[in-house]
Structure 1
Amino acid sequence: MIRNSLYIILISFVLLSGCAKTNTASQDVPEFTDAVAKALALQKEGNFQESLVWYAQALKIKETPQLRNGAGAALLSSGSTEAALKEFDRALTFTPSSPDIQANRGTALFRLKEYDEALDSFNKALSYNPAHAQALNGKALVQLTRKHYDSALILLIQAQKAAPEKALIKYNSAIAFEAAGLLEDAEKAFTQYIKETPKDAKAFNGRGVVRMKLKKYAASAQDFDNAIALSPTNGKFYYNRGLLWQKQLKYTDAIKDYTRSIAYTPDNGTTYVNRGNTYFLLDEKEKGCRDLKKACSMGLCEKLEAYKNINACIE
């Protein structure tokens, strides 16, 4: 029995709130105006570390909630989630009723897997602005983690209406449709997202998974090929393509992709289970037992025990 572990990656989006007007005295200071302009420009370019340098310069001259929020957004985008949360908390001491800052705080908490607190922040944002797209999206992601798929879909549809230009909401909608078992809807949502964002490897991987479940094997293979072409060192994509080959009884191809997956993602025990199974199907029992023993050392012993019970693997 092949383990049906599939990889689709959840992502959320951050609403980068620009710096609102500060008091006139601060605006008249050229150093302040210059620092703010450079921080925003660098942030827009994706140069978050340099952006943070200029946020710090501006904050030395004048602290505002907009600057704290902007710095938090830059930190969040650069992966410094805990530091970002501190900035959002500081910003909220000035403007606790800001839906943008509450939503950004919720996004940081979601990434830290503090789901109850994240939900509280998203709900606060929505209490101030019921059509706040980021808060709707974030709340939907919390519901997805709790497997409340109907609620997640309702929220994501509302988020799409509030911000149809936000492509990542379509991506998250595809995730929710797939989780709810609405595979045709998921395929359509992924396709819409890919049209807008044709270089996102995760989206091709996600659609490939959906198409595999729909038994559209040729289309699924093409999606995995595209995902791998865009991100050739992502072991999860090779794993999914290996599973596709195995479903089609293409065992040699499956072995190759599982091996590639292990090279790039060596800590995934499920790949060893699947490759071990495939070796048995090719009558390469020694290699199969070796893989299953490796999987067992990683906590996945069920398949090894099954083969031991029929004396196919001996200590």
Structure 2
Amino acid sequence: MTGARTGLQISFHKLAGTLALVALLAGCQASETLSDLSRIDTAQGSAENIGSLTAVIQRTPNDPEAYNVRGAAYGRAGRYREALEDFDKAIALDPGSHRAYANRALIYRYMGEQQKALADYNRAIELNPAYDTAYIGRGELYRMAGRSSDAFRDFERAIQLDTADPRAYHRRGLLYQASGQHQYAIEDFATAISLAPDQPYGYNGRGLSYLALGDDENAFADFNTALRLDGEIAESWANQALVYEQQGQMAKAAKSYSRALQLDPEYAPARDGLARTRA
């Protein structure tokens, strides 16, 4: 794309020709984690913390924010039904709580109830049109459904609201990357990294765009940084392996692909890469 960035190109051209680009297509579907839970950073999923939050509710049973925070804790713990009950209670006590709607939307997403999630994100935005978290959540819902233009608009809106949430830049970067606009993707990943330098996802995303542009050195540096930050992510090991494979170091590539499969036996890029390098 040339000139100013006015939106995402709708016709995504096919990326082909090298192993790097083949892997890139698979890597664009980054999974979310429960750290996205509407940025209630005080809510942790430990039994001890949930117990403390329950004690707060017992003292103040009509405080909607108490239910909202405990619901986030339940969500982080994977206790989705209990999380929904708390967000329902928070909304009943305060029907204007845009945070509770956005929190409940995320739980619905994890439970596969996408239409309910969309309705809750829409309601959160209706209640607070400046709530960046709801735009980011709805944008990811659209992105995973293949509605790339709608997703792009939501991420763009969050960025226009001066969000400090790295997910907006990371997700927009994934969309640029999927359409082959790698320079723009690299810029967005770099911003995401600056906002969350201790998270590996921006490094993995930027590394793949570097690799697609033929910059193996910077790609390898980014993948190794991602591994240094968190060595338990299959994508990072498969990305590192891809560089080794492109360099003809098949034994090293196979070892990294094997490690990726140990972490996630269903990760197709690692499975396919291991088959290639062992052959």
Stretch of structure 1 that moved more, 90-99 or 259-268? 259-268
Stretch of structure 1 that moved more, 77-86 or 139-148? 77-86
TM-score relative to the length of structure 1:
0.73
Question: 2:176, 2:104 → 1: CA distance?
Answer: 26
Q: CA deviation at 1:176?
A: 2.7
Q: CA deviation at 1:7?
A: 3.1
CA RMSD after TM alignment? 2.4
Query: 2:233 is matched with which residue?
Result: 234
Bigger Cα Rg? 1
Determine if the alignment matches structure 1 residue 6 to structure 2 residue 26: yes
Question: In percent, how many aligned pairs have the same letter?
Answer: 21
Tell me which amino acid in the other structure corresponds to 1:15: S
The question of whether the paired residues in 2 share the 8 Å contact of 1:10 and 1:172 is answered with no
The question of whether the paired residues in 2 share the 8 Å contact of 1:16 and 1:70 is answered with no
Find the residue that maps to 2:69 and give its secondary structure.
Answer: helix
Determine if the alignment matches structure 1 residue 78 to structure 2 residue 103: no
Query: 1:265 is matched with which residue?
Result: 264
Question: 1:69, 1:262 → 2: CA distance?
Answer: 37
Q: CA deviation at 1:169?
A: 2.1
The question of whether the paired residues in 2 share the 8 Å contact of 1:75 and 1:84 is answered with yes
Tell me which amino acid in the other structure corresponds to 2:190: T
Question: 1:276, 1:161 → 2: CA distance?
Answer: 44
User: Relative to 1, partners in 2 of residues 1:193 and 1:271: Cα closer, same or farther, differing over 3 Å?
Assistant: closer
The question of whether the paired residues in 2 share the 8 Å contact of 1:150 and 1:180 is answered with no
Find the residue that maps to 1:6 and give its secondary structure.
Answer: helix
The question of whether the paired residues in 1 share the 8 Å contact of 2:165 and 2:195 is answered with no
Stretch of structure 1 that moved more, 172-181 or 133-142? 172-181
Residues 25-64 of structure 1 deviation map (CA, whole Å, 9 limit, x = unaligned)? xxxxxxxxxxxxxxxxxx6385754332122112223322
Q: How does 1:240-251 map to 2 (within 5 A)?
A: 240-251=239-250
Q: CA deviation at 1:259?
A: 2.4
Find the residue that maps to 2:27 and give its secondary structure.
Answer: coil
Residues 190-226 of structure 1 deviation map (CA, whole Å, 9 limit, x = unaligned)? 1111122211122211211222122211111111111
Query: 1:90 is matched with which residue?
Result: 89
Question: 1:120, 1:106 → 2: CA distance?
Answer: 8
Query: 1:141 is matched with which residue?
Result: 140
Find the residue that maps to 2:134 and give its secondary structure.
Answer: helix
Question: 2:158, 2:116 → 1: CA distance?
Answer: 20
Tell me which amino acid in the other structure corresponds to 1:104: N
User: Relative to 1, partners in 2 of residues 1:224 and 1:270: Cα closer, same or farther, differing over 3 Å?
Assistant: closer
Query: 1:53 is matched with which residue?
Result: 51
Residues 57-79 of structure 1 deviation map (CA, whole Å, 9 limit, x = unaligned)? 12223322221111112222333
The question of whether the paired residues in 2 share the 8 Å contact of 1:208 and 1:220 is answered with yes
User: Relative to 1, partners in 2 of residues 1:167 and 1:236: Cα closer, same or farther, differing over 3 Å?
Assistant: closer
User: Relative to 1, partners in 2 of residues 1:195 and 1:62: Cα closer, same or farther, differing over 3 Å?
Assistant: closer
Find the residue that maps to 2:58 and give its secondary structure.
Answer: helix
Question: 2:172, 2:47 → 1: CA distance?
Answer: 31
The question of whether the paired residues in 2 share the 8 Å contact of 1:204 and 1:223 is answered with yes
Stretch of structure 1 that moved more, 172-181 or 83-92? 172-181
Query: 1:299 is matched with which residue?
Result: none
Determine if the alignment matches structure 1 residue 181 to structure 2 residue 180: yes
Question: 1:51, 1:167 → 2: CA distance?
Answer: 26
Tell me which amino acid in the other structure corresponds to 2:60: K
TM-score relative to the length of structure 2:
0.81
Question: 2:254, 2:49 → 1: CA distance?
Answer: 46
The question of whether the paired residues in 2 share the 8 Å contact of 1:16 and 1:73 is answered with no
Tell me which amino acid in the other structure corresponds to 2:26: L
Tell me which amino acid in the other structure corresponds to 1:57: A
Q: CA deviation at 1:88?
A: 0.6
Tell me which amino acid in the other structure corresponds to 1:50: E
Question: 2:223, 2:39 → 1: CA distance?
Answer: 32
How many correspondences in the alignment?
A: 255
Residue 38 (structure 2) aligned to one of 3, 15, 19: 15
Q: Give the structure, 1 or 2, with the largest relative contact order (CA under 8 Å, sep 6 or more).
A: 2
The question of whether the paired residues in 1 share the 8 Å contact of 2:240 and 2:256 is answered with yes
